[in-house]
Chain A
Amino acid sequence: MARQRQFTVLSRVLHWTMAVLVVAMLLIGVGMVASLGNYHLLVSIHKPLGILILILVAIRLVNRLLNPAPPLPDHMPAWQRLAAKGSHVALYLLMFALPLVGWAMLSAADYPIVLYGSLHLPAILPHDAMLYAGLRKTHTVLAFLLFATFIAHLGAALLHALIHRDGVFDSMAPWKARTTDAVTERVRN
């Protein structure tokens, strides 16, 4: 095999697990701030889920450094390569930043950061209302940025899967990519 075509199994498991969690998290986030009756339930899910995502993205970053991505198709224009690289960096940064800003803003608001039952996290910032207000706005702005980046990522993934069919989608497909030369052939031509 001349070159690796697919992300490792661990990379793909992490990707799809986090895809579900992050999309759920964004939905819960916009839903809870607009909800009265379900607010408390959704917030009680939002906080531990955010911390879970923070742990997973840290594992994922290490994994990504140890197991680099398969190369993009040779014929891909430079601007697309740049867009792919840039959006992936943005996704990683946002997946780190959102839970950290959330944790920080709850600290500044002097809320206990309850994960489950009596399990809670320590404050990482001093109690300061103005600081809370700024971080709370930042949390919203970053969440919309993450949503926008996710939409771009989804659109690009679907373009690769349905239009270009150049093996880029297959590299992260949840199933095992067709190992035959069909994909490779198409990539080469």
Chain B
Amino acid sequence: MLRLSAIGVVILAVIGCFAYVGGWLTPGRLTPARFVDKFEQVFGLHPGFRRNHAKGVCIAGYFDGNGRAVRLSRTDIFNAVHVPVIGRFSLAGGDPYAADGPGAVRGMGLSFSLPDGEEWRTAMVDLPVFTVRTAQGFYEQLAASQPDPATGQPDPARLKAFLAAHPETARAMGIIKSQPFSSGFANATFNSLDAFRFVNAAGMPTPVRWSMVPVQPFQPEPAAGAQPQDKNYLFDAVITAIERGPLQWHLIVTVGQPSDPTNDATIPWPANRERIDAGTLTINHVGGEAPGNCRDINFDPLVLPSGIARSDDPLLSPRSAVYSRSFTRRAGEQKQPSAVRVPDTGGGS
């Protein structure tokens, strides 16, 4: 009887251990699933769409490395090679039918395909710094922005309480507001925000951040109220521009010093850091989201080739986890057409 009980205890302990690791015993723990649930609560459930950056359009082109970043990273992308790229322009937020407007954060997701089958994926936005340092902070910010069912608007008191508890967010908002946004996707600078590590052929790591800096000249965003009233004016403008001719960005790598924080995306690095122009991105195709194109790609920022590695930035692993969960949910759902329509000119990919 004693032995039988011992067997029972062992079996229950094993099951209990699995249940604990799987999060079933701690319903309050923040998990990828609960994170994605929050997006669905705040923005509504839109089956088939990304839970964040839901509104978007597919782009494609190529990247030409110039060899200048090879001393920092051994990835072939930075050699003088020509690599096919597919990507996506998007608006931040989980509403696929959101109206384009001033202050809407814009995203650029890219996937570089190396000849040997490796890939580099990056998801950038046109903010100079990120608004939160951790996944927990992002979750709280998201929760604070949830519309009050009574008014349909976020509760200002909750937002205020969030900012009071997160001085780093208040500081980051100050930096973001001090710089004008560009007038469109084509002339926007897209930033990695998170820090990464480049690792060269000798195995030496270097902390870096990167940006896609447009060749197209900067124009400031029109003041609120002065922008076009069309719901898709930002997307329509970039679609028209690409159909007229290729758009280009320089991949600018900012080289961090040991004193620069790699674990805090809310803090800018000093302006005098070395910046390397590692190559040129050319976008010459645009197409509506469709089966098998950018719609069905998860621009997971931790899909990295050998020579680019994650840093200790606490946002990176949670981003990978939550993007993956969002991708898994939407992959199995019936797809709806995107609000962004691309005239059929034979382009796209």
A residues bordering B, Cβ < 8 Å?
26-27, 30-41, 43, 109-112, 114, 117-118, 120, 122, 127-130, 132-134, 136-137, 147, 151, 154-155, 158-159, 162-163
Contacts and interface: CB of A to CB of B under 8 A. Distances in A.
Interface stretch (B142-150, B179-187, B247-255, B324-332): B324-332
Nearest to B74: A118
Contacts of A32: 321
Nearest to B111: A110
Contacts of A158: 7, 10-11
B152 interface: no
A41 B317 contact: yes
B214 to A, nearest CB: 28
Contact of B4 (A40, A122, A127, A163): A163
A117 B321 contact: no
Contacts of B119: 112
Given A34-B33, A129-B291, A130-B331, 20 more contacts: A33-B22, A35-B31, A35-B32, A36-B35, A36-B135, A38-B317, A39-B318, A40-B302, A109-B296, A109-B331, A111-B298, A112-B118, A129-B330, A129-B331, A132-B328, A133-B332, A133-B333, A151-B15, A162-B3, A163-B3
Across chains A and B, which 8 residue pairs bring their CB atoms closest together, nearest first? A133-B332, A34-B23, A39-B321, A30-B22, A118-B306, A36-B318, A129-B331, A40-B317
A106 B168 CA distance: 37
A112 B117 contact: yes
Contacts of B3: 162-163
Contact of B32 (A34, A41, A137, A162): A34
Nearest to B301: A40
Contact of A109 (B23, B318, B327): B327
A120 B11 contact: no
Nearest to B302: A40
Interface of B is mostly: helix
A19 to B, nearest CB: 12
B10 A154 contact: yes
B296 A111 contact: no
Nearest to A39: B321
Contacts of A155: 7, 11
Contact of B116 (A34, A118, A136): A118
A100 B316 CA distance: 28
B347 to A, nearest CB: 20
B161 interface: no
B14 interface: yes
B331 A133 contact: yes
A111 B333 CA distance: 19
Contacts of A26: 18
B30 interface: yes
Nearest to B296: A129
Given A112-B119, A127-B296, A36 B321 contact: yes
B244 interface: no
B292 interface: yes
B135 A37 contact: yes
Interface in B104-146: 116-119, 135
A132 B297 CA distance: 11
A36 B317 contact: yes
A132 B3 CA distance: 45
A141 B117 CA distance: 30
A39 B10 contact: no
Name the residue among A36, A43, A122 with the largest chain B CB count within 10 angstroms. Answer: A36
